Amino acid sequence: MSGGVSMKRKPLTTKQLAFYGLMIALALILSYLESLIPPFFAVPGMKLGLTNLVVLIMLYSKGARSAVFINFVRILLVSLLFGNGMSFAYSMAGGLLSALVMILLKRIGGFSIAAVSIAGGVAHNVGQIIAAILLLQTTSIAWYLLILWFTGTVSGAVIGILGGILCKKLQSARLFAE
């Protein structure tokens, strides 16, 4: 016996399970609403990243594991309901890289929620371009990253500002209490 700390996790309470269900449902609804917004003709493939709002809320209220879990489940369900294998690959690459960057910046500290969101938005685009390069076996699309950096920065800022406001409101309403 090593005498180390036990890493057993307690089972989720009914309240916690309901909260996770609500966050997954909210992410699905936001993803669906975002799919109804007509694509911006000047930047094909650009999205606002509304579902990142849920990931930010989970990251700042419940922690990294919860944020990654919600993000993974959301990507899986959205791909099954509205997408295909390719959309799953692109979303997973972007979503996981985005979550990793946001988690690291939050842990480092000194960054606002908006700054963390901006970095997450840009990382999401980088992840998707890397996936596209690997799946399509061409680097000719790498130039598109310059455009996506701009859109990721703008949408990340908007989502980050909204996320900061929502986190403060939800915490003051004690909706994050265990």
Each residue's pLDDT tens digit, 117-173 = 999 999 999 999 999 999 999 999 888 888 888 888 999 999 999 999 998 888 777
Q: How many domains does the chain fold into?
A: 1
pLDDT at 85 over 60: yes
Residue 178 lies in a domain: no
Say which residue, 116 or 45, is predicted with more confidence.
Answer: 116
Per the CB < 8 A criterion, the answer to whether 85 and 10 are in contact is: no
- The model carries a pTM of 0.85
The CA R_g of the chain, rounded to the nearest whole Å, is: 17
Over range 13-19, report the average pLDDT. 87
- Write down the pLDDT at residue 9: 74
Determine the average pLDDT of the residues in 35-63: 82
- CATH number, domain with residue 77: 1.10.1760.20
Per-residue pLDDT, averaged over 94-102, amounts to 95
Query: Which residues span the domain enclosing 139?
Result: 14-35+47-172
pLDDT at 1: 46
Does 85 map to a domain?
yes
- Rounded CA gap, 72 and 29, in Å? 15
Does 5 reside within a domain? no
Determine the Cα–Cα distance for residues 83 and 78; give it in Å rounded to an integer: 7
Q: For residue 153, what are the CA distances in angstroms to 1, 20, 50?
A: 50, 28, 14
Q: What percent of the chain has pLDDT over 90?
A: 57
**Position with higher pLDDT, 10 vs 114:** 114
**Smallest Cα–Cα separation from 80: which of 31, 136, 18, 134?**
31
In a domain, 67, yes or no: yes
User: Per the domain annotation, does 9 fall within a domain?
Assistant: no
Alpha-helical regions (H) of the chain: 14-36, 52-61, 64-82, 85-108, 113-136, 144-172
Nearest to 82 by CA among 30, 46, 152, 127: 30
**The pLDDT value given to residue 22:** 92
- 177, part of any domain: no
pLDDT average, residue stretch 67-71: 94
Closest CA to 123 of 147, 153, 144, 143: 153
CB of 86 within 8 A of CB of 43? Answer: no
pLDDT at 5: 53
Whether residue 89 is contained in a domain is answered as yes
More confidently predicted of 29 and 16: 29
CA–CA distance, 110 with 131 (Å, rounded to integer) = 30
With tokens 């700390």, the residue in question is 5
Domain annotation covers residue 121:
yes
Interior angle at CA 65, CA 53 and CA 125, nearest 5: 45
Give the tokens for residue 136. Answer: 């399509």
